Amino acid sequence: CPGVEAISTGQPKEVETVGILDDGSQITVKIRAFPVFGKDGESEGFIEVVEDITRSKHLMQEVEKALKLESIGIFAGGIAHDFNNLLTAILGNVSLAKVMLKPEDPAYDKLTATEKASLRARDLTQQLLTFSKGGAPHKVTTSVKEIVEESASFALSGAKAKCKFSWPENLWPVEGDKGQIGQVIQNLVSNADQAMPEGGVIKIWAENTIIGDVTELPLPGGRYIKISIRDMGKGIPEEYLSKIFDPYFTTKQRGSGLGLAVCYSVIKSHHGLITVESEFGIGATFYIYLPASEKAADIETEENKTIGGEGTILVMDDEEMVREVLSGMLDFLGYQVELAADGAEAVDLYQKAQQTGGHYDAVIMDLTVPGGMGGKEATRKLLELDPGAKVIVSSGYGNDPIMAEYAQYGFSGVVSKPFIVETLSSTLHAVITQST
């Protein structure tokens, strides 16, 4: 008891502890005890001040968590950028070789499997990029139903566990990054599967919900989509619940401890919230809150074939292997290609083409060039030379704010590394054929 200690030592005593309210809920309290002295200078009693610090404690934990994520992000961003450049060469050559073959060719299925493995590797680098400082999601208005079902099915490929979905007919759309939200679902469903080694049912459902201005949830009032993912595993011990979203925290023998931290970071970047409830021995339920959008969900079409073209494309990238694979892709698609190693060289080539009556139908600019002029500055200079220049920004740092809001920086299109030839062809076709 802090009061007894204050009396025995003659000094103020301060402790933090957990208090239980009448309704059974817990709060964190700070107790300050002060000794009371008599005329003879001896301690005769004490005064205690009890303060509810639940909210401030929670806010402090959130700040500490954010600082951890930021420090990881500075390191992770560079690794993911370099790795995506390597994957661009691998995936680009594989996809190019694949489109040169007929589906009945014996090598076609092998290349398809390699392409899928490369895309999985791309997803892993995206988990690193999620931590990167300054990252921004590529938001579109979409329905979470398709994202959740596709991501959950992918996560359970070959697993014993199965998913049971429940969706309301009038589920509101959200404005979010489909890849990042899908990554969150994959992580949570994979964890749920691992919690049930003998198999079982993972229940996933969603609902429209309105959160008032006064709520226990640290969210502003408004319309939200609430996604719930429940497993039938062993559950999470109570002492771990406050730590599971911390980077590197894990109870598994294998694993990085980043999966749930990624989930936390993604949902936070979408101005949402992720929470968990669990009873040890029964199972766990994760809840995701995402702000609902007032817009209708975008309708997308699948790009399963290459679109050929003609004209001359200027490619700027500091990595020789990336320049080579892009040159091969563009040559296959029917374009003429000229290459530059940095932004200054690209601007010089563009200016010389103008002076000699030449013309570039589009420019593909690498965003980041260590020690040289990058795509942002080079594009600004190109637009000064030619306001009608059509520039596509490309980067292995897919979470850069410029990639999310490319039009604000003068770019006409965006392609994130690594990419397949079909993606490159459709992006080029859309940019070249758009009216200026």
Q: What is the DSSP string of 332-348?
A: HHT-EEEEESSHHHHHH
Max CA pair span of the chain: 102
67 confidence band (pLDDT: 50, 70, 90): low
pTM assigned to the model: 0.57
pLDDT at 379 over 80: yes
Quote helix, strand, coil % in the chain, to nearest 5: 40, 25, 35
pLDDT digits (tens, 9 = 90+) for 182-240: 889 999 999 999 999 889 999 999 999 998 865 678 888 899 999 999 999 988 888 88
H-helix or E-strand spanning residue 275: strand 273-279
In our burial notation (b when 16+ CB lie closer than 10 A, e otherwise), range 4-27 reads eebbeeeeebeeeeeeeeeeeeee
What distance in Å separates the CA atoms of residue 103 and residue 190, rounded to the nearest whole number? 32
Q: In CATH, which superfamily holds the domain spanning 2-52?
A: PAS domain (3.30.450.20)
Domain extents for the chain? 2-52, 69-130, 144-291, 312-433
pLDDT at residue 128 in the model = 64
In our burial notation (b when 16+ CB lie closer than 10 A, e otherwise), range 85-109 reads bbbbbbbbbbbbbbbeeeeeeeebe
Q: What do you get for the CA distance between the two ends of the chain, in Å?
A: 76
Q: In CATH, which superfamily holds the domain spanning 144-291?
A: Histidine kinase-like ATPase, C-terminal domain (3.30.565.10)
Average pLDDT over residues 255-261: 66
pLDDT at 347 over 70: yes
Residue 157: is it exposed, middle or buried by C-beta count within 10 angstroms (0-12/13-18/19+)? Answer: exposed
| Closest C-alpha to 345, from 312, 377, 384 | 377
pLDDT at residue 398 in the model = 63
For the segment(s) 312-433, the CATH number from 3.40.50.2300, 3.40.50.720, 2.130.10.10, 3.40.50.9100 is: 3.40.50.2300
Average pLDDT of the residues of the chain: 85
pLDDT at residue 75 in the model = 65
Contact 397, 129 (CB under 8 A): yes
pLDDT at residue 229 in the model = 97
Residue 112: is it exposed, middle or buried by C-beta count within 10 angstroms (0-12/13-18/19+)? Answer: middle
The residue ranking higher by pLDDT, 238 or 314, is 314
pLDDT at 301 over 50: no
Contact 108, 144 (CB under 8 A): no
pLDDT at 100 over 60: yes
Contact 404, 139 (CB under 8 A): yes
256 confidence band (pLDDT: 50, 70, 90): very low
Tokens matching residue 220: 């502003």
